[in-house]
Every structure is written in structure tokens, then in C-alpha cells.
Amino acid sequence: MRRIINYCQLHFWVSIMLLCVLWVSSFSLASYWLGTGHIIIHNFVFLTLILVCALLEKFDRIKTK
């Protein structure tokens, strides 16, 4: 479970950096908006996965006590 959370966090930060790179090097506005929309959706999915995994891990800890 912890590995999944770490993987999602890594992806989240990589996509944030990609967002910054896209913003800095956005020559064409259309491609920038397409890119950002895609990355924002990805981030939403990864954040949801992180939250779900964290909750599952918490419940797992409570059960094992």
C-alpha cells in the first residue's frame, strides 16, 4: 500500500513540474491548454488514489491493533 502512495506522489510532483515547464515554454496557447487540462485530470486521479490508499492503510492499522 505504501508503495502505491509513493508512486502516486511521485507522479503528482512530476506532473506539477511538467505543468511549470509547459507554462514557461508555451509557444502555442492551444497546446498549453490541452496539456494543462490533461495534467490537471491526471493530478486529480493521482490525488484521489493517494487519499484512497491512505484511508485504506489507516483502516488496516486500526484493524490490526
**Parent domain of 9:** 2-64
CA pair distance 10, 33, nearest whole angstrom:
23
Q: What is the pLDDT of residue 54?
A: 76
Domains of the chain: total: 1
The pLDDT value given to residue 12: 72
Q: Print pLDDT tens along the chain (65 aa).
A: 677 767 767 777 777 777 666 666 655 566 666 666 777 777 777 777 777 877 777 777 777 76
Q: What is the reported pLDDT for 29?
A: 61
Q: Which amino acid type is present at position 28?
A: S
d(CA 32, CA 11): 19
Q: Is the whole model's pTM more than 0.75, yes or no? A: no
Determine the residue type at 24: V
> What is the structure's pLDDT at 14?
76
**DSSP symbols for 1-49:** -HHHHHHHHHHHHHHHHHHHHHHHT-SSHHHHHHHHHHHHHHHHHHHHH
